[in-house]
A and B are shown apart, each in its own frame.
Chain A
């Protein structure tokens, strides 16, 4: 009973069966190679692609708004903050707080956009999200997210890898490592970028850390060649490519027979995957094949690089049984130092870019009966302060808020999450969590639980100990689940 075993895994198991660690070490040419193999031998206590319990979700679409969108303008309505607008921030709030840019005692800043109540649940949503308002009864808002990192890169790493510094596998890597792939022709973990920049934490947010590199996210592009350098060079036919690969693989197999280095097999498997991807990826990534009314629903335009295109692609990839699709959008860091990062011009531009496609994604998944086992999660890496940022001690022409790890809002839909539900509360100004706190590890543990894993048991042995996504923390928040 197995999923498609990639050649790497299969051979790795074969190595375990055929030779003992000792004889392998004898065979290997240097110590480093030996220790590398040892790691992979010892790591074989994995789950064989079968979840610990039957999960409610089989796939994940993770929408990361890099830069940290303001909860106070979008989801967390605070009437008191409106009244306090322009008044100096009470010192009790500032005690013991580290701030990225704000100086001295900044002034409180009321919500910069209007809120209204929507859906049967009567959820408060900003008028900057007119489309999202129509699906509040499908989603669970988590208003009590908090983190312990207040700069982008470490906070993004914590969100994606469970650790604020480099080197750990990302969430998607853990999940594909645990559940395997259901489509042998596409990578099981794909990331798509919009907003013009890679997140501050770099490609590590979809990296595989110490897990075999097979499990890292593959970045696909909606403009130009979907996967860079995947097309055949001019004058090389698919047939010739096949024969070239066969020859290279033969040589690699001979090499493996002699040295028994699993990375040789990883290489063979990656060559093969790349060959299959030459056919499958362009097909999956071609949104011109979608009917026009579907493209319009998302606001997607073929040939462009946009969040809308990426949302539509996410659905197409999930439809083709890709396990984890990670979307990154950039430009949510609304400090208010210029019109390109303020709460009026820039936030309006960003919400306009994402509101329609993310709503269309939920509606589209729902119509196809896919929202049942696909978990969609949306959010940034931290929140924003209830006071106005006064970079360098003074206020400029534009309005913004500083980084705030104390509280922020995320939402999730499908995959067994509750509908029309809000979880947790912040204090009266939305600065800190007041009730039902959800730390990053709690969110990760809950997502793992939905995917059928006990987050404490999906581990990997590395450098002398077992590692897991949630480090040494994480509690499953069952209140979020149906």
Chain B
């Protein structure tokens, strides 16, 4: 019930804003409606990387949307007429509530005003980085997977029917060795998460990792990695998460990471970096969360207890 209310209110405010500002903006005004009510069938990217485009419409692609409208003429645009249609076999969305009058008006106004896509960025809100990386990816090599499994590593798809893989060397345990990453290249199109935490590896082990351009998460914590190894990491431009805690990396090493524009989180606790080094990297990567301090706690509660105890006596 509440969600319907909110939907109604949101549409109301959209209408208000477009009325106030005149022009209806595709990204700001129209896309939220389309994403909520149309995306599921027209442009949704499945875990497998496949895009659902019922009736050949993909609302995330302007060229696809244009096929269904005549700029300036909502009444001649199926993009609008199907939304207002009373024909049970035709109207859209086919299930759930009809669009509200306010929402219908946003579509009609947008077409009337020339159906401009100005300022629209290609990436639809619904598409995550992983969905983007899954697109067009072929199934991983079974031989390579068997090779790593035999070693004791875990090779798992991120989800059912996903071609993307996570490779976790942690279970290899004491048998891990610097050469175990050698054949990683054979899975370069598929690996997005790589866990080398606590593994017996060195900087040379990371050279094959350079090839894993789709990598978004990389655990190198508690390993013998040094600044030299970070050279290999610096080219992984899709990297969002990098864990270097308890390694010997220094300020000079992390300076190389300034190229990782997608990096969201970087962990450097118990490494050799200094506050100055972190500051200088932070300036280049303003949106990255960098953690390098030992966690601080308020004064221990234990002491308070001890102070109070004698008073009672």
Contacts and interface: CB of A to CB of B under 8 A. Distances in A.
A229 interface: no
B170 A297 contact: no
Interface stretch (B78-86, B206-214, B299-307): B299-307
A395 B119 CA distance: 67
B160 A299 contact: no
B108 interface: no
B156 interface: yes
Interface in A318-357: 321, 352, 355-356
B171 A50 contact: no
Contacts of B145: 1
A51 interface: yes
Interface of B: 2, 47, 130, 145, 149, 154-160, 162, 164, 168, 170-171, 219, 221, 241, 243, 245, 265, 267, 269, 291, 293-298, 300-302, 305
B295 A367 contact: yes
Given A50-B157, A53-B159, 6 more contacts: A3-B154, A54-B162, A182-B171, A299-B301, A363-B295, A363-B297
A85 interface: no
B291 A367 contact: yes
How would you classify the secondary structure of chain B's contact residues: helix, strand, loop or mixed?
mixed
B297 A356 contact: yes
B221 A299 contact: no
Contact of B267 (A49, A51, A368): A368
Given A3-B156, A47-B160, A369-B245, A182 B168 contact: yes
B297 A297 contact: yes
B159 A51 contact: yes
Contact of A372 (B130, B159, B265, B295): B265
Given A364-B295, A368-B221, A369-B243, A299 B300 contact: yes
Given A1-B157, A54-B158, A367-B267, A356 B300 contact: yes
Contact of B297 (A2, A131, A452): A131
Nearest to B142: A1
A321 B157 CA distance: 18
Given A366-B291, A367-B269, A299 B298 contact: no
Contacts of B157: 1, 50
A39 interface: no
Contact of A53 (B47, B219, B293, B305): B47
A359 B295 CA distance: 10
A29 B291 CA distance: 62
B300 A183 contact: no
A352 B170 CA distance: 36
Contact of A369 (B221, B295, B296, B300): B221
Interface in A351-382: 352, 355-356, 359-360, 363-364, 366-369, 372
Contacts of B241: 369, 372
Contacts of B298: 130-131, 134
A80 to B, nearest CB: 23
A436 B145 CA distance: 45
A368 B245 contact: yes
A200 interface: no
21 contacts: A2-B149, A3-B156, A4-B154, A50-B159, A53-B160, A54-B130, A54-B158, A130-B298, A131-B297, A131-B301, A184-B171, A293-B294, A297-B295, A352-B305, A356-B297, A363-B295, A363-B296, A367-B291, A367-B294, A369-B243, A369-B267
B247 to A, nearest CB: 12
- Chain A CB count within 10 A is highest, among B130, B156, B157, B219, for B156
A321 B265 CA distance: 21
A468 interface: no
B245 A359 contact: no
